[in-house]
Structure 1
Amino acid sequence: MKEHLSLLKGGMMGVMTAQLPLPVPMIAGAAHVGLAVSLVEDGDGGRVFIHGELAYVWDAPDTVTRRFTAVKLADIKAASVAEIAGAFGVEPVTLWRWRQLLAAEGVAGLAPERMGPKGPSRLTGTVMAEIVALRATGLSLRAVGAAVGVSEFSVRRALVLKAGDGNEPGTPEPTNTVGTTSATVTQPVLPVLPAPVDRSGERAAARAGLLECAAPAFAPAARVPLAGLFLALPALEATGLLACSRATFGALPDGFYGLDSLLLDAVFRALAGEPRAEGATRFDPEALGRVLGLDRAPEVKTIRRKLTHLAGTGKADELITAMAIKHLGTGSANGGSGEDGLAAVLYVDGHVRAYQGTKKIGKVHSTRLKFPVPATEETWVSDAAGAPVFVVLAEPGAALTGELRRLLPSLRTIIGDERRVLVGFDRGGWSPALFKHMSEAGFDVLTWRKGATTDIDQRLFTTAAHTDGHGEARSWTAADTHVDLPLGATGEVFRMRQISRIVPTRGGGTRQIHILTTTEGLPAGEVIYRMGSRWRQENYFRYARMHFALDSHDAYASTDDDAERSVPNPAKKKAYQQVLAARARHGQAKAEADAALLAARTPLPGSNEVTVTSAAHNAATAPLWDAETALEAAEAAHQGSPARVRLGDLAPGQQVLDTQVKLLSHAIRMAAFNTATTLAREVRTNTCYARAAEEAHTLARQALTGSGDIDTTQPGHLTIRLDPFPTQRATTAIAELCEHLTSTQTRYPGTDLVLRYEIKNKKPSLTD
């Protein structure tokens, strides 16, 4: 016995002994915990053996001793925390909590608490009816919960109950998956990455020109890479990319890959981080093909060939217009409130896409690069949330004022009625004449005031507040006044509303900035909020450059520019610079001549006589006459230079890059961006994720690239069962997202399969 105790001590404390430890007991049903412990639990209770010796015993109802045993095994490090917790059927965090309770309160702290709610439920019939009514107004789950005084989980539970789900509070969820209300606990055993569905017959028919396109076909499979991309389908359907493409292009020529497969492949690659066609080489074609319902995804040459065919129809701009109509017609993020008569809040800005190739492309000043570069200009329209809605390719060198005038008819077509639209833009669109034109056309202006202005009286400043759609309140110190802007030399003015703010400066002082608008229906706080939200469009440009290849050259084809197009004459600008230089020299020469003549007319000290000869006068004024002659010549040269010239005379052989392929790529990536943004918004509003405000986009990107199972065992349904995430809070949040996406009853494009989303429970890690 003494030798056994020394051996046990050596096993516990790490001392080497010559005698081997005793074997574990040979008892049927014993669960081995690590290398030294075995656990036996039956109807009579439980017993723990350490190196074959009985160490702890408890009766069946003795929960306290059972927890005490688990804690002591962890304290003496008989096995890892994860192994002990798994053997006792709890999470490692539960075992950690038991250890804390034992240290703080003794054995009494291990007594189990009463299960269930500690008080009466707050979800009374009146409260649930109020929750349903508030949710119907469009408020987020968080805002509804704050309004009625319950948690977001309670709000979601109330909505499920009112929808007739049949689940009552306290009903346990299935133990195998979360994010599903199915009563089935057992899952079908799916093969891990089996061979894709054989499509060789359809490929042979496609080569013979006998197949219009291959329909998606899914086989049961487990641990499928990129299965998280299925989460994008409900949000992608809302963008209208697939439906508008079918209405615009009809279908691709007969072949294996159809229009839906091509567009889904492009969107999935963009969401997975490879938006360009070349990115297809960085995916396993079979892995991406499983998400498409095909045996393999298309290759780079196939993608380019089919996109070129679509671009050859010249209908890419029609597709973007159709998607914009769907977005602003059915989207909830357009910013129109109805009460103020606004149909939408839109932001317009130009974007310069630099070109680094060898073709002769016109130069444009790049604000980001700070100098002129060969580039293509684009004019983008975004909604109130900064999501891209519409884009057109602008003429090289076109000003934002001209682009705004050109956009108004298209925007009116997209809106579809005569309601007013609030259009925000920066100082690049400053033009009082444009403001008047937009107001008369039914568009309200929102922009910053440009130029030197007089400060507003401090007594006019009050507090302006606004609460956004997420329930976040903001306030500013502002003055609400009006100002008259001159329209030209005729003396006519255009009256606009001016919202002024006091902002700090770098030196520690303050200054005033002014917002101009033609709308009178919006409160001053909302006007300030809408003007500040214009930066969301700039955020899209930056984000899309990094994640969606906004500035990439998706096609290298080019065409000759219109040689008859009128463009600004750069010689006119140079001539004006010569005029300015001549005026400066003339002023300096005049000052020098005046000084010389004054000195000549001033008598010497002690003398009253002054003599100025013609020769001296001519010598003093000769530089002035030369400068005056040069100024007249410069002014004549400036007046003789035409303001605009033919492009063919100025830059013969200038080219423009292909526009249709780029517009088509923009449409696909706009849909991908709006899909990702919608998923992030759903994480923020329909889950209890604690850091959703900061990490919603990150969690959405993580979910889209996760793995999971494809289950086709239920007729009429396509169940996507995602693998758990590294953290429990992320797994829970995606489970709530899955529940919300399942409620949309989205069908996989080209099939009658209704998508259902689930996520597996997170299993304890052996390293916890």
Structure 2
Amino acid sequence: MGVATHNIIGRLAASVGALGAVAPQFEAVLDVPHGGVLCALPALLAVGLLDGITDYFPLQSGYYGPDSLLLLLAFMALSRINSIEGLRDHAPGEWGKLLGLDRVPEVRTLRQKVREMSHAGKPRQWSAALAQRWLAAAPEQANALYIDGHVRVYYGQQTRLPKHYVAREKLCLRATVDYWVNAMDGQPFMVINQVVDPGLIRVIEDDILPRLESMHPALTEPLPTAGRARHRFILVFDREGYSPDFFARLRAKQVACLTYHKYPEAAWSENEFHNQPVPLVSGQIVTMQLAERGVRLSNGLWLREIRKLSQSGHQTAILTT
């Protein structure tokens, strides 16, 4: 039956369709490679990794169930195994002990199962359900969402992706762009991959906001008439998202924004700056020299401009609605 296939009865039952998926059975063992990943198991379960997966990933009857497959992929990521092919370099029986099985699936089998879960399953709905759960569980963190794009270089040969500028390489390379939506402490809520990058503004309006409208607790509940003038939550992004018309469209949707001023005017007088205590996400309180003015943009939109004075005399200009 293969290397480390000790559960003969379970495999025979699965082969004739008498077993939906084998139940994990953990045993006391010593010196298991990568055994430290089990310390992350409570955290993976706490974030809802396995909640309702049979509804989103209904696999055909077989030896490996969707819960074992998802845990295997999670443990591979924690062990820095960057691809399914990389599993060939590891002992299948040792990895099976981490899942409570006799061995993990062979690479071809794992590819087949992942393909089945991707096409026959509902990965987008599963991801949206997880994001909605995380947003509802942390309403204070969901009030301020940080959006940032990261270029991911593609080194394969199976497709000809468009080139993107990679800052760390100072080159234009074939890559895709991942737009992450995080809490201010770095906890991720969702990620959107763009093969052809339309830019941050288009991604926010066409992809991020439509998804948030169906899952963010501040958008799924109607706002009283008296509160129509206030914002539901705030989006934080870099100067790529600077656009007066974009700011106006966000305000119409009752979404505040915070970003760098792309075209700041002359430096302000240092007499305007005063020491202000600023609480950080970590709970630490730091003192910054801050000043504030109102500013009217080219389209007539009135915003707040806040500047931070550094010890070198540089003034960082930030706009917010």
TM-score bin, normalised by smaller chain: 0.7 to 0.9
Q: Give the CA deviation at 1:306.
A: 0.6
Matches within 5 A, 1:604-643: none
| Cα separation, 2, equivalents of 1:371 and 1:225 | 38
| Cα separation, 2, equivalents of 1:222 and 1:513 | 55
Aligned residues of 1:197 and 1:294 also touching (Cα < 8 A): no
| Cα separation, 2, equivalents of 1:330 and 1:464 | 31
* Equivalent residue number for residue 254 of structure 2: 442
Structure 1 residue ranges without an equivalent (≥5) = 1-195, 337-342, 488-492, 519-768
1:412 equivalenced with 2:213 (yes/no): yes
* Equivalent residue number for residue 517 of structure 1: 320
| Cα separation, 2, equivalents of 1:267 and 1:357 | 22
SS of structure 1 residue aligned to 2:301: strand
1:207 equivalenced with 2:15 (yes/no): yes
Q: Give the CA deviation at 1:277.
A: 1.1
1:229 equivalenced with 2:74 (yes/no): no
Aligned residues of 1:197 and 1:217 also touching (Cα < 8 A): no
Aligned residues of 1:480 and 1:499 also touching (Cα < 8 A): yes
SS of structure 2 residue aligned to 1:326: helix
| Cα separation, 2, equivalents of 1:303 and 1:201 | 21
Q: Give the CA deviation at 1:410.
A: 1.0
SS of structure 2 residue aligned to 1:305: helix
Closer, same or farther in 2 for the Cα pair 1:275/1:267, shift >3 Å? farther
* Equivalent residue number for residue 77 of structure 2: 270
Among residues 144, 152, 159, which one is paired with 1:353 in the alignment?
Answer: 152
Closer, same or farther in 2 for the Cα pair 1:211/1:395, shift >3 Å? same
Q: Give the CA deviation at 1:485.
A: 0.9
Q: Name the aligned partner's letter for residue 236 of structure 2.
A: G
| CA deviation map 1:4-54 (0-9, x unaligned) | xxxxxxxxxxxxxxxxxxxxxxxxxxxxxxxxxxxxxxxxxxxxxxxxxxx
* Equivalent residue number for residue 425 of structure 1: 237
Among residues 394, 402, 412, which one is paired with 2:194 in the alignment?
Answer: 394
Q: Name the aligned partner's letter for residue 214 of structure 2.
A: T
| CA deviation map 1:41-99 (0-9, x unaligned) | xxxxxxxxxxxxxxxxxxxxxxxxxxxxxxxxxxxxxxxxxxxxxxxxxxxxxxxxxxx
Q: Name the aligned partner's letter for residue 74 of structure 2.
A: V
Aligned residues of 1:325 and 1:415 also touching (Cα < 8 A): yes
Closer, same or farther in 2 for the Cα pair 1:361/1:230, shift >3 Å? closer
* Equivalent residue number for residue 364 of structure 1: 164
State the aligned residue count.
305
1:285 equivalenced with 2:84 (yes/no): no
TM-score normalised by length of structure 2: 0.86
Aligned residues of 2:85 and 2:107 also touching (Cα < 8 A): yes
Q: Which moved more, 1:307-316 or 1:354-363?
A: 354-363
| Cα separation, 1, equivalents of 2:112 and 2:102 | 20
| Cα separation, 2, equivalents of 1:440 and 1:314 | 36
* Equivalent residue number for residue 131 of structure 2: 324
| Cα separation, 1, equivalents of 2:197 and 2:25 | 50
1:475 equivalenced with 2:282 (yes/no): no
* Equivalent residue number for residue 731 of structure 1: none
* Equivalent residue number for residue 246 of structure 1: 54
Closer, same or farther in 2 for the Cα pair 1:290/1:360, shift >3 Å? closer
Closer, same or farther in 2 for the Cα pair 1:314/1:354, shift >3 Å? farther
1:260 equivalenced with 2:67 (yes/no): yes
| Cα separation, 2, equivalents of 1:296 and 1:458 | 67
SS of structure 2 residue aligned to 1:213: coil
Higher strand share: 2
| Cα separation, 1, equivalents of 2:269 and 2:81 | 54
Closer, same or farther in 2 for the Cα pair 1:378/1:470, shift >3 Å? closer
1:296 equivalenced with 2:103 (yes/no): yes
Q: What is the RMSD of the two structures over their aligned residues, measured on CA atoms? A: 2.3
| Cα separation, 2, equivalents of 1:503 and 1:470 | 21
| Cα separation, 2, equivalents of 1:241 and 1:320 | 10
| Cα separation, 1, equivalents of 2:166 and 2:121 | 28
Q: Give the CA deviation at 1:395.
A: 5.4
Aligned residues of 1:424 and 1:445 also touching (Cα < 8 A): yes
1:375 equivalenced with 2:187 (yes/no): no
SS of structure 2 residue aligned to 1:323: helix
Among residues 114, 117, 120, which one is paired with 1:313 in the alignment?
Answer: 120
| CA deviation map 1:578-635 (0-9, x unaligned) | xxxxxxxxxxxxxxxxxxxxxxxxxxxxxxxxxxxxxxxxxxxxxxxxxxxxxxxxxx
Larger radius of gyration: 1
Q: Name the aligned partner's letter for residue 355 of structure 1.
A: Y
SS of structure 1 residue aligned to 2:63: coil
Matches within 5 A, 1:532-543: none
Q: Give the CA deviation at 1:374.
A: 2.6
Structure 2 residue ranges without an equivalent (≥5) = 220-230
* Larger RCO (alpha carbons 8 Å, 6+ apart): 1
Determine what percentage of the aligned residue pairs are the same residue. Answer: 33
* Equivalent residue number for residue 584 of structure 1: none
* Equivalent residue number for residue 175 of structure 1: none
Q: Give the CA deviation at 1:244.
A: 4.9
| CA deviation map 1:716-761 (0-9, x unaligned) | xxxxxxxxxxxxxxxxxxxxxxxxxxxxxxxxxxxxxxxxxxxxxx
Higher helix share: 1
Aligned residues of 1:449 and 1:515 also touching (Cα < 8 A): yes
Aligned residues of 1:348 and 1:381 also touching (Cα < 8 A): yes
| Cα separation, 2, equivalents of 1:353 and 1:224 | 32
Aligned residues of 1:363 and 1:373 also touching (Cα < 8 A): yes
| Cα separation, 2, equivalents of 1:394 and 1:226 | 33
| Cα separation, 2, equivalents of 1:296 and 1:316 | 26
| Cα separation, 2, equivalents of 1:225 and 1:465 | 48
Q: Name the aligned partner's letter for residue 212 of structure 1.
A: G
| Cα separation, 2, equivalents of 1:397 and 1:220 | 49
* Equivalent residue number for residue 385 of structure 1: 185
Q: Give the CA deviation at 1:479.
A: 0.3
| Cα separation, 2, equivalents of 1:368 and 1:318 | 34
Q: Give the CA deviation at 1:369.
A: 3.2
* Equivalent residue number for residue 461 of structure 1: 273
Aligned residues of 1:252 and 1:259 also touching (Cα < 8 A): yes
| CA deviation map 1:647-682 (0-9, x unaligned) | xxxxxxxxxxxxxxxxxxxxxxxxxxxxxxxxxxxx
Matches within 5 A, 1:57-206: 198-206=6-14
Aligned residues of 1:290 and 1:296 also touching (Cα < 8 A): yes
| CA deviation map 1:249-281 (0-9, x unaligned) | 2x3211101000001111112212224212322
Aligned residues of 2:151 and 2:166 also touching (Cα < 8 A): yes
Closer, same or farther in 2 for the Cα pair 1:259/1:397, shift >3 Å? closer
| Cα separation, 1, equivalents of 2:281 and 2:198 | 36
TM-score normalised by length of structure 1: 0.38
